[in-house]
Structure 1
Amino acid sequence: MRLRLAVTFSCIVPCLLLLLPAPSTSQNSFVCSRATYYGSPDCLGTPSGACGYGEFGRTINGGDVGAVGRLYRNGTGCGACYQVRCTHAQLCTEEGVHVVVTDHGEGDYTDFILSPRAFVNLAHQNMALDLLAYGVINVEYRRVSCQYPGQNLMFKIQEHSKFPNYLAIIILYQTGQMDILTVELWEEDCQQWREMRRSYGAVWDIVNPPLGPLNLRFQASGDGEVKWVQVGNVIPSDWKAGVAYDSAIQL
């Protein structure tokens, strides 16, 4: 996505009513950059984002989502959360907005292309139209912890999976500031872990996956540490495309 499209006033009003900034949990220093927004008739994200989240990517975090350029990091940056605030004090709040990365895109020397909802949530409530008129604005941002109260880590079977010969998964509700680097499945017959391929974005796949309930582990990195997290029998033997399975754990 490269072009900023027009947003109607009817779209702006409900966005303003949903302004609910979350508290920051990170002590990282802010980085100066620029941000713009993309066209969306309902202010939300896009189901065709490069992270592979589909419809989930439209509404996660209330629709406060964005596409990023260099922060995408070949898909490793998918699901990361950032506090973004514009530097125009008269137009924008001091808190800014917390966004989730759901897509890859490059704008006019920008690090963020925000959903319209996220963009107007940068502004004071009576300044949204003035901010939109700028199109591209100076911002500062920092990585913060993702927070999904009441949600465990979920493993969704991507819709293009074909039981039992091809399995692709997407990891949802990834909290904290951890990046998932590797995903592996336990092969009981060979008594070894089989590495899944990062197909694109946040989608991991494997041909001829192990049979039976799947034991899965993934390597996560962040906050100065790298660790393995193992989840037993999280995906049943009769898994189905499009279904999300609860891990019963939080990262």
Structure 2
Amino acid sequence: MGGACGYGNLFTTGYGTNTAALSSTLFNNGYGCGTCYQIRCTSSSACFAGSPVATVTATNLCPPNWAENSNAGGWCNPPRTHFDMSMPAFKKIAYWKAGIVPVMYRRVPCVKRGGLEFTFQGNGYWLLVYVMNVGGGGDIASMWVKGSQSDWISMSHNWGVSYQAFATLQGQSLSFKVTSYTTMQTLLAWNVAPSNWQVGLTYQASVNFR
């Protein structure tokens, strides 16, 4: 729950337990948040027969542990690629008592139902937006907001999946432009939030990446 990406309650935001924290090499300063992977246990007696796969979404950071060697405890130390999987996800590929197993992994498209979701924080002069339920590459490289009385405003990366704009946008309906870090595809989400939008609420667009 929670974590470095900013998804909050993983059940209410739709991510559930098919999740993993990424080592900093994969986390990429938060640009890896939302990416999806297929993971398969390999070369271990703990692997389940048939080599089943678990598909997970990156929702957190597994920080380095510089006090331990990267092959003996410091599993998330750069430049190692590592997944700290939730127990339900881990139990899909191996016996959980193993604790750690070697894996094969690959990036896969994120399959999501419904449109992009934008959760608002901040105030009338500073808008902080968390972008969730992102399909396709699952990640966000850049983002812009447009008020009904303004031009497009570039938003800066705050942390994880949150982007911010220092602008007076209260009382304006809001549209967003979002670019995927992986695919570089850009989506326009028009009139996502009405003019009486409020912080603490989530607004859904009618579009998503595929």
Deviation per residue, 1:102-144 (Å, 9 max, x gap): 0011363241111111111213xxxxxxx22221211111001
How far apart, in 2, do the equivalents of 1:58 and 1:234 lie?
A: 20
Q: Can you list the C-alpha shifts for 1:41-97, whole angstroms capped at 9, x where unaligned?
A: xxxxx22x0001111378734311110011111111111100011103663252320
Amino acid of the structure 1 residue aligned with 2:38: Q
Contact 2:38 2:108 in 1 (8 A): yes
Q: C-alpha separation between the residues in 2 aligned to 1:116 and 1:58?
A: 19
Which residue identity lines up with residue 8 of structure 2 in the other structure? G
User: Aligned-pair distance for 1:178?
Assistant: 5.1
Contact residue 50 and residue 104 of structure 1 kept, 8 A: yes
Supply the AA of the counterpart residue of 2:109.
S
The one-letter amino acid paired with 1:74 is N
5+ residue gaps, structure 1:
1-45, 124-130
Query: What SS does the aligned partner of 1:170 have?
Result: strand
The superposition leaves residues 158-206 of structure 1 with CA deviations (integer Å, 9 ceiling, x where unpaired) of 4xx22x12211111111112532111122566x6321111110001112
Q: Where in structure 2 are the equivalents of 1:207-226 lying within 5 Å?
A: 207-211=166-170, 212-223=172-183, 226=184
Residues 144 and 85 of structure 1: is their aligned pair in 2 closer, same or farther, counting only changes over 3 Å?
A: same
Residues 75, 241 of structure 1: alpha-carbon distance in 2 compared, 3 angstrom cutoff: same
* Paired position in structure 1 for 2:186: 228
2:115 counterpart residue number: 152
Contact kept, 8 Å, 1:184 with 1:218, in 2: the verdict is: yes
Between the two proteins, what is the percent identity of the paired residues? 28
Instruction: Say which of 142, 153, 159 aligns to 1:200.
Output: 159
TM-score by length of 1: 0.69
Of 71, 75, 97 in structure 1, the residue corresponding to residue 30 of structure 2 is: 75
Higher-helix-fraction structure: 1
Match of 1:168 among 107, 128, 132: 128
Judge conservation of contact 2:119–2:131 (CA < 8 Å) in 1.
yes
Aligned pairs for 1:72-221 within 5 A: 72-87=27-42, 88=44, 91-92=47-48, 93-106=50-63, 108-110=74-76, 111-123=82-94, 131-149=95-113, 151-158=114-121, 161-162=122-123, 164-177=124-137, 179-186=139-146, 192-211=151-170, 212-221=172-181
Counterpart of 2:167, as a letter, is N
Rounded Cα–Cα distance in structure 2 between residues aligned with 1:153 and 1:89? 41
**Residue 153 of structure 1: CA displacement?**
1.4
Aligned residues: 191
Partners of 1:112 and 1:203 lie apart in 2 by: 22
Q: TM-score, normalised by structure 2?
A: 0.81
Structure 1 residues 188 and 250 mapped into 2: Cα distance closer, same or farther (>3 Å)? closer
Q: In the alignment, residue 118 of structure 2 is paired with which amino acid?
A: F
One-letter code aligned to 1:144: V
Separation in structure 1 between the aligned mates of residue 9 and residue 46 of structure 2, nearest angstrom: 35
Conservation of the 8 A alpha-carbon contact between 1:185 and 1:210: no
Pair 1:239 & 2:197 matched = yes
RMSD: 2.2
* CA spacing shift, 1:116–1:178, aligned 2, 3 Å: closer
